[in-house]
């Protein structure tokens, strides 16, 4: 079938959805039907960004067919809802003792008894399917070859229908990462009052601290640019540029799914060869962070429920998925870089108050090597087992292979293994991997731990998700240059599975 025919059929399905959606607004929320209309206009409205053509026509035939199939499935749900609402409900009119008809009472009872369960299922199916459609179309908009087109990204950023669908936030971040303009303006903070505050920060672990800044608590992440130098070294222009650019990207508004606190700015500490990122503390929490690594080390006093483990795993998997969407790689994803903040109703920091954590609200940091994908790096030599245990074998010791999405997925698999067993990865080998220095041996050890112990703690589906991440086994063939197929399969085989598990707990 030629693309124009596919477009015509898909447009017809959209029109049917809108027509039926309006008729069933009392069942399927008006917001959902309006999102359907916004999606129709975004995909099929001619636009100068595509030389007067529509966005739908920019996708290849395979994607066009998938969009049509998705919408036909959605249409069948709406049609069934429409039939339920439209079918006659005639009840025998019985005259009550007070002379009034009992017909309306009978109708309400019949509706309640016969249709309530089906209606509940339809509402859930509609919302889930609509969410999947939007997530996939956003993925195609940003991860296919069209996602590197500047005019296309500008349209997603500014188009009113794109904004209604929430595509504009990711498009803006994508633009900031991929099309950063050279500017002499820096985000470096040079307020003389800030440096003493950072130097006297209340430290948590070796890389985080909390300060009071402009009347509010702020989170500090300490980074070194030349830790081996015996004397202060002037930061080179390339490092300064990367740090400044990263701070600006971390400052960009993001969806909550990224699980990243907003970066206020950064500050240089030249006497100690360090720079520090300053982050806003998330609202509604105490400025008293604790890392996932530390929580795992307190496994007896901090043992979570199965639901807590799945919610944490889902939040972290969604984070990696969102990074992939805007062509980012983390490069240092591990439990020491994942923080929790106690809720405000907790007591002072103690082993008891640490229980007052919401495991569905992790915050991901640790951007010392993180950068947009266009800044691929071969990496520097680092033989620390505490960090190597999270690294893909291709990225351990002296890596020569550029960092890619599968390497972040591998690191996620290690953290999910830790979460499932509720045990730091470094402790999964008797010598803490100090003698086991072959990269493949570390991977084999982690996989063996997952296969042997994980199912009894979290179930077979969770174990399967972890093994897929560790093995990178997503059955992707002939992927695009932008890894669009891998991104979709990661969502389907990891994020969606964890999401369904969370819903069922």
**Reduced 3-state DSSP string for 178-222:** HCCCCCCCCCECCCCCHHHHHHCCEEECCCEEEEEECCEEEEEEE
Contacts within 8 Å (CB) and 24+ apart, 10-15: 10/43, 10/56, 10/64, 10/67, 10/68, 10/71, 11/40, 11/44, 13/68, 13/71, 13/72, 13/75, 14/39, 14/40, 14/43, 14/44, 14/71, 15/40
Q: Going residue by residue through the chain (505 aa), what tens digit of pLDDT does each one get?
A: 555 677 777 777 777 766 766 666 655 566 667 788 899 999 999 999 999 999 999 998 888 999 999 888 888 887 887 777 666 554 444 444 555 555 554 554 455 455 667 777 877 888 888 888 898 999 899 887 777 788 999 999 999 999 999 999 999 988 887 765 555 577 788 888 899 999 999 998 889 999 998 889 999 999 888 767 777 888 888 888 888 888 888 888 888 889 999 999 999 988 888 899 999 999 889 999 999 999 998 866 678 899 999 999 999 999 999 998 888 888 899 999 999 999 876 555 444 444 588 999 999 999 754 444 444 445 556 678 888 899 999 988 777 788 889 999 999 999 999 999 999 999 999 888 888 778 899 999 999 999 999 999 999 999 999 999 999 999 888 887 778 889 999 999 999 999 999 988 8
**How far from 347 is each of 30, 203, 342, 351, CA to CA, in Å?**
43, 19, 9, 10
Residues 6+ away with beta carbon under 8 Å from 88: none
Q: The domain 183-281: what is its CATH number?
A: 3.30.200
- The dihedral built from the CA positions of residue 424, 429, 432 and 437, taken in this order, carries a sign that is negative
What's CA 85's distance to the chain center, in Å?
Answer: 37
Let me know if 224 is exposed, middle or buried by CB neighbors in 10 A (0-12, 13-18, 19+): middle
Q: What is the pTM of this model?
A: 0.84
CB 291 within 8 A of CB 339: yes
Let me know if 117 is exposed, middle or buried by CB neighbors in 10 A (0-12, 13-18, 19+): exposed
User: Looking at residue 154, what is its pLDDT?
Assistant: 93
User: Looking at residue 350, what is its pLDDT?
Assistant: 47
Q: Where are the beta strands (DSSP E) in 343-454?
A: 363-364, 371-372
Angle, CA 235 vertex, CA 229 and CA 238 arms, to 5°: 125
Say which DSSP state 453 is in. I
HEC readout, 318-356: HHHHHHHHCCEECCCCCHHHEEECCECCCCCCCCCHHHC
Distance from C-alpha of 416 to C-alpha of 291, rounded to nearest angstrom: 15
Distance from C-alpha of 217 to C-alpha of 287, rounded to nearest angstrom: 7
HEC readout, 82-150: HHHHHCCCCCCCCECCCCCECHHHHHHHHHHHHHHHHHHHHHHHHHHHHHHHHHHHHHHHHHCHHHHCH
Distance from C-alpha of 505 to C-alpha of 503, rounded to nearest angstrom: 6
How many C-beta atoms surround the C-beta of residue 100 within 10 A?
11
CB 146 within 8 A of CB 161: no
Per-residue burial over 155-189, b = 16 or more CB atoms within 10 Å of its CB, e = otherwise: bbbebebbbbbebbbbbbbbbbbbeeeeeeebbeb
Strands 338-340 and 371-372: unpaired
Distance from C-alpha of 476 to C-alpha of 188, rounded to nearest angstrom: 42
User: Looking at residue 372, what is its pLDDT?
Assistant: 45
Q: What residue ranges of the chain are covered by domains with CATH 1.10.510.10?
A: 296-504
Distance from C-alpha of 227 to C-alpha of 382, rounded to nearest angstrom: 13
What are 224's strand-pairing partners?
Answer: 274
SS3 label, residue 280: strand
**How far from 218 is each of 155, 194, 262, 337, 341, CA to CA, in Å?**
35, 11, 10, 17, 12
Element (H, E) at 403: none
CATH of 296-504, one of 2.60.40.1180, 2.40.160.40, 3.10.20.740, 1.10.510.10: 1.10.510.10
Say which DSSP state 285 is in. B
- Determine the angle formed by the axes of helices 405-421 and 439-449, rounding to 10 degrees: 40
CB 196 within 8 A of CB 202: no
Nearest to 32 by CA among 132, 168, 156, 127: 127
Q: What residue ranges of the chain are covered by domains with CATH 3.30.200?
A: 183-281
């Amino acid at each position: 079938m030629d693309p124009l025919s596919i477009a015509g059929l898909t447009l017809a399905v959209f029109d049917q959805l809108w027509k039926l959606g309006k008729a069933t607004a009392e069942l399927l929320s008006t917001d959902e039907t309006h999102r359907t209309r916004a999606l129709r206009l975004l995909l099929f409205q001619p636009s100068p960004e595509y030389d007067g053509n529509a966005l739908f026509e920019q996708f290849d035939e395979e994607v066009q067919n998938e969009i049509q199939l998705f919408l036909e499935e959605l249409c069948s749900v709406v049609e069934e809802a429409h039939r339920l609402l439209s079918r006659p409900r005639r009840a025998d009119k019985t005259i009550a003792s007070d002379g009034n008809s009992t017909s309306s009472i009978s109708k309400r009872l019949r509706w309640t008894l016969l249709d309530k369960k089906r209606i509940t299922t339809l509402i859930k199916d509609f919302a889930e399917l609509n969410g999947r459609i939007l997530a996939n179309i956003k993925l195609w908009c940003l991860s296919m070859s069209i996602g590197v087109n500047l005019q296309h990204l500008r349209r997603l950023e500014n188009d009113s229908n794109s904004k209604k669908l929430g595509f504009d936030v990711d498009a803006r971040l994508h633009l900031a990462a991929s099309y950063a303009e050279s500017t002499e303006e820096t985000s470096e903070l040079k307020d003389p009052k800030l440096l003493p505050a950072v130097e006297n920060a209340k430290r948590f672990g070796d890389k985080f601290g909390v300060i009071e800044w402009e009347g509010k608590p702020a989170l500090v992440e300490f980074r070194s640019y030349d830790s081996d130098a015996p004397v202060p070294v002037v930061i080179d222009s390339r490092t300064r540029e990367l740090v400044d650019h990263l701070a600006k990207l971390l400052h960009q508004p993001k969806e909550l799914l990224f699980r990243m606190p907003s970066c206020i700015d950064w500050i240089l500490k030249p006497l100690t060869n360090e720079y520090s990122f300053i982050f806003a503390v998330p609202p509604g929490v105490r400025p008293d962070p604790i890392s996932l690594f530390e929580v795992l080390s307190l496994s007896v006093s901090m043992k979570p429920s199965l639901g807590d483990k799945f919610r944490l795993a889902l939040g972290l998997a969604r984070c990696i998925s969102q990074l992939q969407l805007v062509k980012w790689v983390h490069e240092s994803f591990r439990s020491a870089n994942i923080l929790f903040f106690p809720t405000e109703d907790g007591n002072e920091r103690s082993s008891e108050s640490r229980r007052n954590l919401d495991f569905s609200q992790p915050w991901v940091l640790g951007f010392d090597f993180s950068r947009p994908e266009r800044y691929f790096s071969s990496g520097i030599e680092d033989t620390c087992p505490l960090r190597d245990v999270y690294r893909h074998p291709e990225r351990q010791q002296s890596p020569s292979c550029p960092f890619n999405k599968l390497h972040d997925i591998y690191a996620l698999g290690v953290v999910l293994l830790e979460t499932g067993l509720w045990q730091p990865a470094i402790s999964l080998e008797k010598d803490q991997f100090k003698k086991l220095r072959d990269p493949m041996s570390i991977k084999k050890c982690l996989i063996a731990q997952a296969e042997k112990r994980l199912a009894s703690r979290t179930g077979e589906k969770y174990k399967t998700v972890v093994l897929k991440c560790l093995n990178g086994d997503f059955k992707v063939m002939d992927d695009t240059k932008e890894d669009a197929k891998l991104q979709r399969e990661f969502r389907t085989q990891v994020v969606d599975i964890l999401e369904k598990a969370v819903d069922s707990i």
